[in-house]
Amino acid sequence: MADFREIFNEAAAAVQVEVKDKPAAISAAVDILSRGGKVLDAEKLRDEITRREALASTGIGHGVAVPHVLCEAVSSLVFAALTLKQGVDFKAEDGQKVDLIFLIAGPRGETAAHLKLLSKLARLLHDQDFRDSLRAASDAGALASRIYERE
């Protein structure tokens, strides 16, 4: 799997994003990921993520969600990271509202790399100190730096 700097850049990070609900959070995450330059069709990606989320929540607990999809709307494996100003309900098993989102998208056929990234992020996001440091990031650069530090 590529390192974080190859699949994530500061343009795909945002802090204190204001949204009112889960659909708005997903939409904002897609828009933020689109700024990173590898999204070919933002509307298709938004539809695919929404369809995937309807199958099962990607809220993994501790205020974190990792919506993810394989589709033709992206040119390579990428992710966005964002913190929300206020948590929204993602129907996570622990019932906590989500205020930290990692949106992952990759082209069909990159299943192995997609799963490795999901696994790597899940391990990192299990660490309370890491989650707290992400939530404390003052801007997109600080958020990206904290993610790169955990490479």
Q: Active-site residues: which are they? A: 68
d(CA 33, CA 121): 16
d(CA 115, CA 96): 24
CA 50 to the chain's CA centroid: 13
